Amino acid sequence: PDLIINPHAFPSRMTIAMLLESIASKGGSLRGKFVDATPFEDALKKDGEGGSESPSLVDELGSMLAAHGFNRYGTEVLYSGVYGTELTC
């Protein structure tokens, strides 16, 4: 599925949680596991795996993406759903 987020949604809410939740949901779907994106918790603790050794949630989520071949910062190229060509900024 395509994900389109209005860029005005982030500054108006002044929250980084939406970005972390987006990355966590992608990592969780790749692993087939529940991921907790609460900023003060280990992402995998409630999964029964005991958490991780990462110093921060961002590092932990990035490692999860990198383990599946994606960019650890969650950046990807956006392609046109109609033409299949790369969209430029």
Residue 2's pLDDT band (cuts 50, 70, 90): low
Q: If we measure between CA atoms, which residue out of 17, 15, 19 comes closest to residue 73?
A: 19
Which pLDDT score is estimated for 1? 43
Domain ranges of the chain: 1-89
Which pLDDT score is estimated for 48? 46
Which pLDDT score is estimated for 77? 86
Which pLDDT score is estimated for 44? 56
Burial (CB count <10 Å: 0-12, 13-18, 19+), residue 81: exposed
Which pLDDT score is estimated for 83? 92
Q: Yes or no: is domain 1-89 CATH 1.10.1040.50?
A: no
Is the pTM higher than 0.85? The answer reads no
pLDDT tens, 28-72?
A: 898 888 887 776 666 555 544 555 555 677 888 888 899 999 998
How far apart, in whole angstroms, are the C-alpha atoms of residue 38 and residue 69? 24
